[in-house]
Structures are given as structure tokens and as C-alpha cells.
Amino acid sequence: MQIYKIFDLCGPHCVSIEEGEKVRKIIVDNFNNGKTIELDFNGVQTLTSSFLNSAIGRLYGDFEKSKIENFLGVKGLDKSDEALMAIVIKNAIEFYAKDQRAREAARDVIKDLKEDN
Amino acid sequence: MNKKIIKVPRLDQNIDSFDQWDRFISIVSPLFDKSIPIILDFSECGFIGPEGTALIAGLKIFRNDRGYITELDVTSVLSSVKVVLERSGLMGLFFPSESGWQPSHKDSTLPIFCLKSKDKDSAIEYIENQILIRKEVPHMTERLKKDIRVSFFEIFNNIFNHSESPIGGVVCGQVFPTDHTVKIVFYDTGIGVANKVLNHKTDLKSDVEAIEWALERGNSTLGETIGQPRGLGLYLIQEFIKINTGIFRISANSGALMEKDGKRSKGMLSLPLHGTIIDITIKTQEHLIYGYKDEFSYLRQ
């Protein structure tokens, strides 16, 4: 299993969407190659929701929850960052569930319109 | 060319009264887009807190960028107010070449910091040097320092990802050593949170409703537009301030909202604010910090 040190990738303050995107790309590349990875947050002093939404939250739109749970490990988070990670994941799961429902509703409307014509 | 004299009103430090804030905005906000040269007269301003300083700084920078003349009549400023304007760096904004009117780094005023771009390193330098290790700032635990850093960047991200502010953001503040509190004010001259939400959520009826929508977990105009999860920043700051028993205030366009002591108060401004101003007052007493150490509200889902 490959370990990625977030400190080495983004420094001690991981705050922006762009930095999160950098981490997400690494995760996606590994997932697509069937590789299991671990993110090591040791040394990171500041984590924001923007960073985590981008790095982790967006994965829930691209991969099954079970795949993320099985292929991605996380270590080195303190209690408050763990809590932040939990809320980012919860928010992402809710967001994509809503998004999926909206897509299904739109598909139904289009189907009805086609049938009417 | 004629110059219009604007009398800047008093704005106290802790504005529990909405009226004073409303009056200040009513006078300052309409000046942003007026091309006529203006002179700010402080003769009726017996005090100006960091919210007022941020607003005047934003006005000056905004108008400068458009080539509009904005002057400050230094002879009108009371000596006690002059000290505040010097320490905050506001005087230096109006008189950049005058030595001796640069912000002080040795007192309880957090000087004006202009964030023109998403410059993380400058922001970190300001947080560390101007907020966290100032000798006037009461001792804070590492945990609280971290929460302040995170809150700062959540608002910072909000300014640069959502506000469309032409000047970026203006930050300033005040330390109250005897009250064990630190107040940090963030101002941007962008579209305003309320307008941004109302453009996106047509079912909402007012600017206050729009602000409340923006403060809820998971709500984000950008998130819905780009199809990605967002909308946690402002919610998390509110949660932190609740646990810290501090004060969270936001004014945007015609809406204003304050969270204090677990109560939310709301108001409509007489004239719309140009952009969004967020101020957070954080308590730094250690016993309060220990109080929330193991019960961070994110876990109360």
C-alpha cells in the first residue's frame, strides 16, 4: 500500500480547493489502477472544509462508498480534523444522493415528454 | 471639481444596537459608486470600531481602483479616534507616503490586511504574527489557535470562491485583553451573500432568508452549479463560535444577522451594504476552551 504524506504534497496548511484537487487526482489515479492507498496527515496544522470537499468529498460522486472505504485509509488526523472529515463525508453522501434523485426526476420528465409527443 | 463632504458617524466597539450599524452603513454604502470626489469628515465620529474601519478601508480601496477621489479630513479627527485610525493602518491608506502613520504592531489593534488574491502565505503570516502571537492577545491553547486559523481560512475561501469582490478582502480587528476576547472582521465588496443566494434560489423572499440559507449545512450556490459538494465553511464557523460562546455577525446587502448566547437576531438594513461583512468575536479564556475540547459539535450530527 502506498502512503502519501499530505504535508509533503501541500504543506502544513491545507486550505484551498486547488490543493484538495491535487490530492483527489492522486487518489483517483490509484483507484483506477486498483491500488489501495493511505493519506498521512501528520504535520498538517490547518485543514478546511474546502480542501476536504475537494480531496475527499468529490470521490463520493465518482466511486461507490464501499470502494472508497476499502481502498482509502487515513491516518494522522487529530480529533477535530477527524470530526471535520466525518462531516465532509456525510455532506458529500447527502449531496450526491440528492443529485442522483434530481437526475432521475429529470429523466422521468424527459421520458414523459417523449411519450406525450 | 466640487467635493462632497461626508460626515462619518460614530460606531461603537460592541454594537448590540442594530440602529448604529444601520446608520453607519446608510451613510457609507451609497458612496461606493459615486464618482464625485468625497471628503470624509470625522468630526461627529467619537469612536470607530473595527467594523467601521473595515468598511471605510474597503470604500477607499474600491474607489481608488476606479480612480474616484476619496480624502480624509485629518483636521476633523478627534485625537482619540486618530490613534485608532493610525494603529489600524486606515490613516496609512489615506496618507501612504506619510511616515509615522503606518499601522502599529504593539497594541491591541489588529491592523488592516488587504487580501488582493488567494495568497495563502500572506494570510498565514497575518494570522500568526498579527493575531496568534501578539503579546496583547491573551494566552490561547493550541487547539484554539488552530480553530482561529481554520475559521480565518473558511471565510478567506468564501471571499475568493464566492464573493466576486473586485478588491479581494479586507481584514482587521481588535483584541480586548480584559474581556479575554478577540474580534476579527472580514469585509468584501463583492456581490453580497444575500444577492448571490437570491439569484440562485428564487423561492427565498428576503435578504435575511437568503443569509440564513447560506449558513445552513450543505447549502452552497457554487456546489449546486458545479455539481460538487460544498457549503460547510460558514456553518462550521457558526458551530465553533456557538461552542466558544462568542459572537458571529454577518451583514450582506440588506440583511443582517447575529448569533450570540445561542440566540439568533435578524434585521433589515435601511440601505443595502455594498458586499458582505462578517465579524467573529472569540473568547480566549482557557476554561471555555477546555469545555469544548471533547465535544466538538461536528460530532453532534
Q: What is the pLDDT of residues B156-185, one digit of tens each?
A: 998 998 899 999 999 999 988 888 889 999
In the predicted structure, residue B260 carries a pLDDT above the cut 80: yes
Residue B54's pLDDT is: 96
CA B245 to chain centre: 19
Give the span between the Cα atoms of B115 and B109, in whole angstroms: 18
The alpha-carbon gap from A117 to the nearest alpha carbon of chain B, in Å, equals: 30
Given A16, A87, A94, which is nearest B298 (Cβ)?
Answer: A87
Q: How far apart are CA B260 and CA B187, in angstroms?
A: 20
By the 8 A CB rule, do B72 and B181 touch?
Answer: no
Question: Interface of chain B against chain A, CB under 8 Å?
Answer: 118, 120, 124, 143, 146-147, 149-150, 153-154, 156-157, 161, 217-218, 223, 227-233, 236, 294, 296, 298-299, 301
pLDDT at B130 over 90: no
Average pLDDT of chain B, as a whole number: 88
User: Residue B161: its chain A contacts at CB < 8 A?
Assistant: 17, 50
Closest CA to A39 of A65, A13, A2: A2
pLDDT tens column, B21-31: 999 999 999 99
- Taking only the tens place, the pLDDT of each residue in B150-159 is 999 999 998 9
Q: For residue A32, what pLDDT is reported?
A: 95
For residue B218, pLDDT over 50 is answered with yes
Tell me the whole-structure pTM to 2 decimals: 0.90
Task: Please indicate whether, in this complex, the C-beta atoms of A47 and B124 are within 8 angstroms of each other.
Answer: no
Interacting residues of B208 by C-beta distance below 8 A, sequence separation 6+: B194, B255, B256, B257, B266, B267, B268
pLDDT (0 to 100) of residue B28: 96
Segment A70-89, tens digit of pLDDT: 999 999 999 889 999 999 99
Tell me the C-alpha distance between B189 and B203, whole Å: 25
Q: Does A90 touch chain B (CB under 8 A)?
A: yes
Cβ atoms of A7 and A44 within 8 Å: the answer is: yes
8 A C-beta contact, residue B236 and residue B299: no
Can you list the positions of beta strands (E) in B109-150? 109-115
Contacts of A56 (CB under 8 A, 6+ apart): A20, A24, A85, A88, A89, A92
Enumerate the residues of chain A whose CB falls inside 8 A of the CB of residue B301. 86-87, 90
Q: What is the average pLDDT value for chain A, to the nearest integer?
A: 91
How high is the pLDDT of residue B15? 58
For the cut 70, the answer to whether the pLDDT of residue B298 exceeds it is no
CB–CB of A58 and B229 under 8 A? yes
Q: Is the model's pLDDT at B299 over the cut of 70?
A: no
Instruction: Tally Cβ neighbours within 10 Å of residue B245.
Output: 16
How far from B188 is each of A24, B59, B86, B114, B169, CA to CA, in Å? 30, 10, 22, 10, 5
Identify the pLDDT of residue A117.
Answer: 67
Q: How confident is the model at residue B108 (pLDDT cuts 50, 70, 90)?
A: confident
**Least confident residue range of A20-29, B15-24, B100-109, B200-209:** B100-109
Q: Do A80 and B143 touch (CB under 8 A)?
A: yes
